[in-house]
Amino acid sequence: MKTLLLFCFNLLLFQNFIMYAQWSSDPATNLTICDLNGDQALSKIASTSDGGTYISWFDIRSGSYSVYLQRLDFAGNKMWDENGLLISDNPQSSSLVDYDLICDNDDNAVVVFTDTRNSGNLNVFAYRISPEGTFLWGENGIGLSDNSTFDANPKVIQNGDGNFIFVWIKTDNGYELGLQKLSPEGSKLWGEDPIILSSQTFGLSNPALVPSHGNSAVLFHTVVTGNFPAQTVKLAAKKINSSGAVDWDIMIQDIGTIAPFSVPEVISDNVGGGLIAWHDDRDGNNLQSGFVQRVDGDGNIYFPVNGAEASLLADRHKFNPVIAFDNTSEETYVFWLETEPNQNQNGISGQKLSQTGNRLWSDNAKVFKPLSVPFTLSISSLNTQMGNQRAYLFYIQGDLTGNNDIVEGFACNADGDFLWSGDFVVLSNPAPDKMQMVSTVDPYNNCKLSWGDGRGTNPMGIFAQDINPFGELGDSYIPVELTSFTAAIVGDDAVLNWRTATETNNYGFEVERQNSEESWENVGFVGGGGTTAIPQEYSFTDRLIFSVNIFYRLKQIDFDGSYEYSNVVEVENINPTKFALHQNHPNPFNPSTVISYQLAVNSKVSLKIYDVLGREVAVLEKEYQPAGNYKVEFNAKGLSSGVYYYHLEAGSYSQTKKMILMR
């Protein structure tokens, strides 16, 4: 073993994927997920670790609603049947309720929804589908509830231990919440029947979960008293521990001025807590205002009691706030639909909140889309994502006649400045109606959206669109991923080896060298693999001509001439001036140790191990070696404890040292 030095690093180089792409670059076209007879509705979307996408929806092609799922690769190619994989065609209510879809840590899709297979009762069922389309929890999924009541709006998260926690609304005795935990294999971990959270004095509704520490979860929900329409709605949060018990319970909004039909938005802060956004009329002036609160895994709130108000601008409604959280700065971005009191003029405003909830874009917030001329514009389905310290906002835009025909979006930086050419980008513009848009952001900061769309001959289909971090359609960015880069001295040469996991448009690598006294110089070129998802291995040998430390880097070049540099690796090229055999390390050892030696000139080398009786027990080296520094690992497996000797002969040089094996 003659390796002196080893460096590894990960490098992401963003390049355009140009082969076989199905994502559309034309906002008039978009990617058709499914547009068959009948209605396709209520799409959900989730990103995979490799930049792919899962999209689910309800589909009435067979005469009643069924659940379908599609998997796309990062380029938008469909991995399953053209019109989706049938997940469930069990009996379904004609009136759909909300459901949930996530991508788990192993890139499986987990979808949880309700249907009426149990004697017409609306119950909850969960499915886990592999990237190959295998039903990991069986063809009929796993039933989470089995009763004669109405269960609705199930949600799911995956915790750090790989288990899944589910929550849904139950109506056994007023409004309650049901909870269940499943293992990755589909075993129920909280008993056959769900855990029920209830109260004798109020109802619990609109649940949402975020993962927390210790394989627990933070549960957000509304607290409701009274009868519709004279209901009092507040907000609360609970810590659900790994056993399903409630560790703490706090109020988020204890004023009770939230509209009964509004559903708060909840996101994870990715460090064990979550954020929740809502609008209310706590001033009693018939104007809704947007609020945000952040809660950590111990039940501490970050923002003012009852929430941080996003804008103090007078005579405005601030409806349906949506939030994105920057984990680097711990700042919160919030956007909302803004209208004048009569709701005839519509626009979009936003705010950035500090770690403690202070308004950073002035008390009156920042206007991104000014109020429209009266009766000319509608805005709905606001979606926001966070990527690389920039916030993305997408929405459906139409006119006040109800024709919502445009999907539009923008990106902004930490100062609220627009980042895309022309400020706003149209993602879809065919005239027919659009609704129920959802979005996700992949690991490379490309955003993917799906929505219901009436452009075809059928009532409503599901369509999708990507947009990359630079505001371009149909050009999702993925990395040329350099997974390792190693440098070692072997004799008189420096040997460089590197490996890529994927490549896109990769022309090749220039190898550049620098010693401590010179600028970088190009010492060679190795051709790349173009575009490939198959791991590639490369090697380059450089003849050493300096007796100083030497640095190397790779210049990865695209076919279009653009390039990126790798990190720098260093090799020590100080040729020894004398022979030496060094003490092994560690010593004593069990079972392995490393023996180092140096050769002043090229030599015939013998390195052997002897016991205390002088018997040879191992030969580590017996070959001709160039001058240099060497390390050899000795594994004493099979030998008993005691004193051993290692003996080096190199030409006329000879040396012996003692080492101790201690079992």
71-114 pLDDT, tens digit per residue, is: 999 889 999 999 999 999 999 998 999 999 999 999 999 999 99
Residue linked to tokens 């971005």: 333
Mean pLDDT over residues 133-150, rounded?
93
Confidence of residue 10 (pLDDT cuts 50, 70, 90): very low
pLDDT for residue 475 is more than 90:
no
pLDDT tens profile 431-459:
878 999 999 999 889 999 999 999 877 88
CATH class of 580-661: mainly beta
Confidence (pLDDT) at 1: 27
Same fold for the pair 478-571 and 580-661: yes
CB 152 within 8 A of CB 169: yes
pLDDT tens profile 506-548:
899 999 998 766 789 999 999 998 877 678 999 999 987 655 6
Measuring CA to CA, how many Å separate 169 from each of 149, 198, 231, 514, 647? 10, 10, 18, 65, 75
Distance CA 549, CA 571 (A): 6
Radius of gyration of the chain (CA): 31
Confidence of residue 194 (pLDDT cuts 50, 70, 90): very high
Identify the CA nearest to 597 among candidates 586, 587, 607: 607
Least reliable range by pLDDT among 199-213, 389-403, 460-474, 532-546 = 532-546
Average pLDDT, the chain: 91
Mean pLDDT over residues 187-203, rounded?
96
Grouping H, G, I as helix, E, B as strand and the rest as coil, residue 343 is coil
Residue linked to tokens 């009329």: 281
> pTM of the full predicted structure?
0.76
Distance CA 587, CA 616 (A): 20
Query: What DSSP state is assigned to residue 243?
Result: T
Exposed / middle / buried, residue 171 (Cβ in 10 Å: 0-12, 13-18, 19+):
middle
Distance CA 17, CA 179 (A): 43
pLDDT tens profile 260-295:
989 999 999 999 999 999 999 999 999 999 999 999
Distance CA 608, CA 580 (A): 15
CATH class of 478-571: mainly beta
pLDDT tens profile 372-431:
999 889 999 999 999 989 999 999 999 867 688 899 999 999 999 999 999 999 999 998
Exposed / middle / buried, residue 477 (Cβ in 10 Å: 0-12, 13-18, 19+):
buried
Enumerate the domain spans of the chain.
478-571, 580-661
Phi/psi at 266 (nearest 5 deg)?
A: -125, 135
CB 407 within 8 A of CB 465: yes
Confidence (pLDDT) at 20: 46
Confidence (pLDDT) at 514: 87
Confidence (pLDDT) at 543: 80
First-to-last C-alpha distance (Å) of the chain: 24
Exposed / middle / buried, residue 434 (Cβ in 10 Å: 0-12, 13-18, 19+):
buried
- State the number of CA atoms in the 13 A half-sphere of 634 facing the CB: 30
Confidence of residue 603 (pLDDT cuts 50, 70, 90): very high
Higher pLDDT among residues 187 and 575, named by residue: 187
Least reliable range by pLDDT among 12-21, 317-326, 469-478, 487-496 = 12-21
Confidence (pLDDT) at 135: 99
All residues at 6 or more sequence positions from 613 whose CB lies less than 8 Å from its CB, including other chains: none
Confidence (pLDDT) at 173: 80
Burial 182-191 (b: 16+ CB within 10 A, else e): bebeeeeebe
Residues β-bridged to residue 661: 589, 642
Residue linked to tokens 């034309």: 26
Confidence (pLDDT) at 517: 61
All residues at 6 or more sequence positions from 249 whose CB lies less than 8 Å from its CB, including other chains: 236, 237, 238, 239
